[in-house]
Structure 1
Amino acid sequence: MRTRNRMWVAAIACAVLLGGCAMETKEQARQRLQAGGGKTGEAAAPASTTAGAAQNGAGKLTAVQFYVPSEKENSLSVIDVPTGQVVGKVQLQEAPSTVVFSSTMREAYAANMNSSTVSIINTQTLKVEKEVAVGPMPHGMALSADNKTLYVAAVADQFVYIVDTKEGNEAGTIDLGTGAKTNYLVLFGDRLYVSDHENDKVYVVDVKTKRTVLTIPTGKTPRAIRVSDDGKKLYVPTAGEGALETYDTADGKPLGRISVTPGATDVVVSEDGTTAVVTSMEGSAVTFVDLQAGKPVETVTDLPGARHIEYNRQQTKAYVTLSGSNEVVSIDTSTKRVVDRIQVGATPHGIRIKALPGIGGSC
């Protein structure tokens, strides 16, 4: 019996090494999915019931993938992380920009700028289940932890639009004031952070009262903002300053500014808080930043229209959309070199990883 057990352990270990991703048992996955719930709190079906439902297995629930909207092709590419191949496509409305996932990864939400809608996507069938009308030019989005409320920034006006994901309709707005412009969003607890790229501000909103509780003046043209894992720091790439700015979320006071390439667009921060990687769309570059030393350490150039960025699960690679070359590049975070180029739709915009906790941990 012990010999047989050792053989099973060896077989599983081999599968992990060959597959390149961490694994969990089917029973563990079933229990976790049931505990987390399916769509809007309903019990989720086991992954095996939906595997293979979409083209090339792209709809498999446990697959680790990136979703990349294409502005010019009005579509979304699904990239398989272990192989670096495009394994599926979703047709969307006009000029999709960004995408977010529910915590169960069973739904994705894509903002369509020119059609002023949000597409609700079934990630197993790769089909759009509903279009929700919101404000003009929806862009950044943030989803509540219970998956029930989607907050949508509309670049062309002063409101954040609230979508009830269960009903699939607009359920109100948050007014940021006359002249305000909304761009990118981050939700941390009950606080919603909204960048205003035209007025050089970040608004901090209490989502319970729907009121602005703090306004943080920033450098010129703040773009895709991030909050640290502990919620204490706000990271703001400012395109007009060519900088990564950091603010205290408690009082909005500046904590530092690090020069990067002009046109700073998006940022990811390592789990230990020591390193940041900043994209620069106009500068066509990516800058690695030492946050402890407060300085850039290396810049990767010749990345046309380097726009948005996401880490893989282990943060060994950073994936960047290149709106100028219709590619997603993979950059090794240790060597700081491009290791892969993936052709996607024309003018790729945002990028977001789809990965369930405990699955694909080494991808």
Structure 2
Amino acid sequence: MRHKKKMAAAALIVSILLGGCAMETKEQAKARLAAGGGKTGEASATVQTDAGKLTAVQFYVPSEKENNLSVIDVPTGKVVGTVKLSEAPSTVVFSSTMREAYAANMNSSTVSIINTQTLKVTKEVPVGPMPHGLALSPDNKTLYVAAVADQFIYLVDTKEGKEAGTIDLGTGAKTNYLSLFGDKLYVSDHENNKVYVVNVKTKQTVLTIPTGKTPRAVKVSDDGKKLFVPSAGDGTLEIYNTQDGKLESKIAVAAGATDVVIAEDGLSAVVTSMEGNAATFVDLATGKPIQTINDLAGARHISYNRQQTKAYVTLSGSNEVAVIDTQTRQIVERIKVGATPHGIQIKALPGIGGSC
């Protein structure tokens, strides 16, 4: 019996690898089998047809005009499910367990809490006007919500499913996108051309960084030492030192710089440009653009797959997600989603979908 189980497990791993999306590494498989455990993943055919599987590697894409969220299966590149949301959903984030997702609904001034297994909204949480950027604390207990129409960051208690206070950035401030690293929350202000650095423990602004025109989706490097700011009005990617807020470099990209993803080795990045309808590959070591991909209508937000071999870009102008091969820097696929796609976020448990 034990021999048959080992043979079945081996066959499962082979079928997964042939399906183009390894659901666990060989090392993980050996450790699991040595411990006498059962299977942790499903064959790719099952993942392709069951959007609620926790082991499924997917992208969630909110669509503003259709008030829903498209679930894209990464191995097949197909939309395998949808979630009905409130008005004008913009961005989405996942809990570390991938069991919950949180979507900001701009026109209804709410955050939807989504059960990723049932693909149903379990609760609608009222927050400030026009919620947009989201960041979730590492312990999954606090969701930080930027509201474009006022000066506050709204805190949502995810367990209770209700607002649990605010962080006031001061009269005239406008909150847009968020990036959380340790106890520091980085908040872009697209109207006042600033990034606020907030200590989430004290709820106080500890540093204000003047930026280029219209800063958008800010990101922090993996080591927390650099802040990346796409400046839409200047068509640049700006890089700041997080300790003192000083500008280290500025890289020209297409007009309307919107979002950025940084490679794990810290040597390269890809910047989307909504108004410029483009995505620009940049060399962070030399501070120069490498190549720009055009004809990406309303290129908005971007996310890597797990291996960073592909970059997925939401195209608000064509209702698609463009898939770019990061080695050849060519568009290899276009996936039709809901009208006016906005944000995009990958759903993948650690150790699952390692080759996706």
TM range (shorter): over 0.9
Residue 14 of structure 2 corresponds to residue 14 of structure 1: yes
Residue 213 of structure 2 corresponds to residue 200 of structure 1: no
Between the aligned partners of 2:29 and 2:306, the Cα distance in structure 1 is 20
Corresponding pairs, count:
343
Between the aligned partners of 2:97 and 2:9, the Cα distance in structure 1 is 28
Amino acid across the alignment from 2:92: V
- For 1:220-260, what per-residue CA distance to the aligned partner results, in whole angstroms no more than 9, with x for missing partners? 00000100000000000000000000000011011100000
**1:267 aligned residue (247, 260, 265):** 260
Instruction: Determine the structure 2 residue equivalent to 1:241.
Output: 234
**1:317 aligned residue (283, 293, 310):** 310
Between the aligned partners of 1:27 and 1:64, the Cα distance in structure 2 is 22
**1:215 aligned residue (208, 211, 215):** 208
**1:99 aligned residue (84, 92, 98):** 92
Between the aligned partners of 1:211 and 1:114, the Cα distance in structure 2 is 28
Residue 59 of structure 2 corresponds to residue 66 of structure 1: yes
Residue 318 of structure 2 corresponds to residue 332 of structure 1: no
Distance 1:252-1:64 versus aligned 2 partners, 3 A rule: same
Report deviation, 1:18: 1.6
Instruction: Determine the structure 2 residue equivalent to 1:146.
Output: 139
Between the aligned partners of 1:68 and 1:207, the Cα distance in structure 2 is 28
Report deviation, 1:27: 11
Report deviation, 1:20: 1.8
Gaps of 5+ in 1: 30-45
Residue 288 of structure 2 corresponds to residue 295 of structure 1: yes
Report deviation, 1:12: 4.5
Instruction: Determine the structure 2 residue equivalent to 1:178.
Output: 171
Instruction: Determine the structure 1 residue equivalent to 2:351.
Output: 358
Between the aligned partners of 1:332 and 1:116, the Cα distance in structure 2 is 36
Contact 1:21 1:359 in 2 (8 A): no
Between the aligned partners of 2:91 and 2:4, the Cα distance in structure 1 is 49
Q: Equivalent residues in 2 for 1:20-169 (5 A)?
A: 20-24=20-24, 56-169=49-162
Between the aligned partners of 1:117 and 1:6, the Cα distance in structure 2 is 49
Instruction: Determine the structure 2 residue equivalent to 1:347.
Output: 340
Amino acid across the alignment from 1:330: V
Contact 2:147 2:176 in 1 (8 A): yes
Between the aligned partners of 1:279 and 1:186, the Cα distance in structure 2 is 17
Between the aligned partners of 2:118 and 2:29, the Cα distance in structure 1 is 21
Report deviation, 1:55: 10
> Structure 1: which 4+ aligned runs deviate by more than 4 Å?
3-10, 25-29
Between the aligned partners of 2:16 and 2:159, the Cα distance in structure 1 is 37
Percentage identity across paired residues of the two chains: 77
**For the aligned residues, what is the CA RMSD?**
2.3
Report deviation, 1:9: 7.4
Instruction: Determine the structure 1 residue equivalent to 2:35.
Output: none
- For 1:65-124, what per-residue CA distance to the aligned partner results, in whole angstroms no more than 9, with x for missing partners? 000000000000000000000000000000000000000000000000000000000000
**2:182 aligned residue (176, 186, 189):** 189
Other structure's SS at 1:360 match: coil
**2:247 aligned residue (238, 247, 254):** 254
Contact 2:13 2:22 in 1 (8 A): no
Amino acid across the alignment from 1:338: I
Instruction: Determine the structure 2 residue equivalent to 1:33.
Output: none
Distance 1:360-1:47 versus aligned 2 partners, 3 A rule: closer
Other structure's SS at 1:119 match: strand
Report deviation, 1:181: 0.2
- Under a length normalisation based on structure 1, what TM-score does the superposition of the two structures give? 0.90
Contact 2:48 2:73 in 1 (8 A): no
